């Protein structure tokens, strides 16, 4: 007797999807199913693991290499570990609702095993079946994919349990049946044509960064009067640029205001931290988040309010290096400042600042926070690290050559 072989049974992983093009779909898939469909990029680049892998895995690795960068050559492997830590913190509730992962973009080489009829008439919603051993490659989001593999391989390392991972669903988009050349083009377009978010704009959105939060709070705490209207100073803070242009309605950048916060917290050492993420664990000895928040917001809001006219006139006080230098001086009024850099009364600080000539003139600022260009125009483009220390010394030590210069007393 001979058995009849099945002709209609389709084996594989069924996934519910929504088409958005004739050859592309979006959907979500459980993490265990996803990791069965798409092998670990880290393992596919491990020569020892690959040498003992199945022919299907070696073939997948070869096709992947045609449309993806290697983890080792690009630093993606290290980034995947950081990504896994971020995901684990999100799954453990550390970020609350304020965390997000972009959909992973996959390329399914060849035809899928099966496509169902519409599950709900007129919606396009249907099920596709990915056959065992199908070639599915992440052409965008591979660092995230690697992070998910790392989490599933060793959840305890990241403070997770398998139960948490089994319940996860991953959003994705998938291109079906593209040639390798077309898949490479998708990779190119996703990684080259997009416009990166500027560091200043990105930093302005990061509410986990203590300095950014405090900069926003300082700006919101100050009210200024313009043409008879009282408005929050925050409306005059530009969050997207490194420098404010002449025609911009704002008078200072958020990055400069953040540098003021950082140097007020850390003093001179803050000049090297102006571009670093500041968490509560990085605060100086004797300074907890609650104390820092109260004193820094109140102190800096008071200073900006007192010198509001100077800010509104876009004078030198708005330059990043100058405002950072003010922060170094303001640090000396903070209760956690050490004995060598503390003990300055807020009234004395205001006296030091009131005697400064804030007009953007070379007689006051050239060689301290600015230089004269070939056109004869005074340029304040010097960075916080380059000039902030000189500004602080000029403010704090009136009898020095620099101190006399910024006060219009130089010979």
CA angle 238, 243, 248 (to 5 degrees): 55
Pull the structure tokens for residue 20. 């958005």
pTM over 0.75: no
Residue 44 has pLDDT above 80, yes or no: no
Return the top range by mean pLDDT from 3-7, 114-118, 243-247, 394-398. 394-398
**pLDDT of amino acid 316:** 92
**pLDDT of amino acid 11:** 81
Q: Which residues contact 373 (CB under 8 A, 6 or more apart)?
A: 379
- Report the C-alpha gap between 369 and 380 in whole angstroms: 6
Helix 254-266 × helix 210-221 angle, to 10°:
110
- Report the C-alpha gap between 17 and 127 in whole angstroms: 6
Q: What is the pLDDT of residues 47-92, one digit of tens each?
A: 776 766 677 777 777 777 777 766 765 667 778 899 999 999 999 9
Return the top range by mean pLDDT from 30-44, 123-137, 309-323, 335-349. 309-323
**pLDDT of amino acid 236:** 92
- Report the C-alpha gap between 111 and 281 in whole angstroms: 52
**pLDDT of amino acid 111:** 86
**pLDDT of amino acid 74:** 64
Give the single-character DSSP code of 236: G
**pLDDT of amino acid 375:** 74
Cα separation values, 179 from 56, 76, 110, 135, 200, Å: 19, 25, 8, 12, 39
- Please answer whether residues 134 and 12 qualify as being in contact, where contact means their C-beta atoms are separated by less than 8 angstroms: yes
Cross-sheet strand order for the sheet of 114-115: 114-115, 126-130, 13-21, 24-30, 169-176, 104-108, 136-140
pLDDT more than 90, % of the chain? 53
Pull the structure tokens for residue 2. 């001979």
Residue 9 has pLDDT above 70, yes or no: no
Q: Which residues contact 216 (CB under 8 A, 6 or more apart)?
A: 234, 254
Q: What is the pLDDT of residues 282-326, one digit of tens each?
A: 999 988 999 999 999 999 999 999 999 999 999 999 999 999 999
**pLDDT of amino acid 247:** 81
Q: What is the pLDDT of residues 96-142, one digit of tens each?
A: 998 999 999 999 988 888 898 989 998 889 999 998 888 898 988 88
Q: What is the pLDDT of residues 207-255, one digit of tens each?
A: 788 999 999 999 999 999 998 899 999 999 988 777 787 788 899 989 8
**pLDDT of amino acid 197:** 65
Return the top range by mean pLDDT from 182-191, 213-222, 379-388. 213-222
- Report the C-alpha gap between 216 and 322 in whole angstroms: 19
Pull the structure tokens for residue 277. 């993420």
Q: What mean pLDDT is reported for the chain?
A: 87
Residue 195 has pLDDT above 70, yes or no: no
**pLDDT of amino acid 196:** 67
Task: Provide the residue count of the chain.
Answer: 411
**pLDDT of amino acid 199:** 67
Residue 401 has pLDDT above 90, yes or no: yes
Residue bearing the bigger pLDDT, 239 or 398: 398
- Report the C-alpha gap between 325 and 30 in whole angstroms: 52
């Amino acid at each position: 007797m001979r058995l009849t072989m099945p002709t209609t049974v389709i084996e594989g992983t069924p996934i519910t999807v929504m088409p958005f093009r004739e050859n592309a779909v979006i959907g979500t898939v459980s993490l265990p199913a996803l990791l069965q469909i798409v092998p670990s990029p880290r393992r596919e680049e491990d020569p020892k693991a690959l040498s003992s892998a199945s022919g299907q895995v070696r073939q997948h690795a070869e096709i992947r290499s045609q449309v993806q960068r290697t983890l080792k050559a690009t630093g993606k492997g290290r980034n995947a570990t950081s990504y896994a830590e971020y995901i684990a913190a999100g799954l453990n509730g550390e970020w609350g609702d304020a965390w997000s992962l972009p959909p992973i973009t996959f390329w399914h080489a060849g035809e899928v095993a099966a496509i169902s009829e519409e599950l709900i008439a007129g919606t396009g919603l249907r099920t596709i079946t990915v056959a065992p051993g199908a070639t599915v490659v992440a052409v965008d989001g591979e660092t995230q994919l690697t992070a998910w593999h790392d989490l599933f391989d060793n959840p305890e390392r990241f403070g997770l349990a398998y139960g948490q991972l089994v319940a996860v669903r991953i959003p994705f988009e998938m291109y079906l049946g593209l040639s390798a050349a077309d898949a490479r083009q998708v990779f190119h377009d996703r990684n080259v044509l997009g416009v990166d978010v500027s560091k200043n704009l990105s930093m302005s959105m990061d509410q986990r960064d203590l300095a950014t939060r405090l900069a926003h709070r300082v700006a919101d705490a100050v009210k200024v009067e313009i043409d008879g209207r009282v408005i929050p100073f925050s409306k005059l803070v530009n969050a997207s640029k490194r420098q404010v242009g002449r025609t911009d309605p704002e008078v200072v950048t958020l990055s400069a205001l953040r540098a003021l916060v950082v140097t007020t917290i850390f003093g001179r050492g803050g000049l090297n931290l102006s571009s670093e993420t500041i968490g509560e664990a990085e605060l100086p000895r004797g300074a907890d988040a609650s104390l820092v928040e109260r004193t820094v917001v109140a102190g800096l809001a008071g200073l900006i309010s007192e010198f509001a006219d100077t800010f509104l006139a876009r004078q030198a006080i708005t330059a990043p290096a100058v405002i950072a230098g003010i922060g170094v001086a303001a640090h000396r009024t903070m209760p956690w400042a050490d004995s060598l850099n503390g003990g300055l009364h807020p009234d004395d600080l205001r006296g030091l600042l009131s005697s400064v000539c804030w007009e953007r003139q070379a007689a006051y600022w050239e060689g301290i926070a600015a230089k004269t260009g070939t056109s004869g125009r005074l340029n304040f483009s010097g960075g916080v690290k380059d000039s902030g220390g000189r500004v602080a010394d000029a403010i704090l030590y009136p009898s020095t050559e620099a101190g006399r210069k910024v006060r219009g007393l130089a010979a």
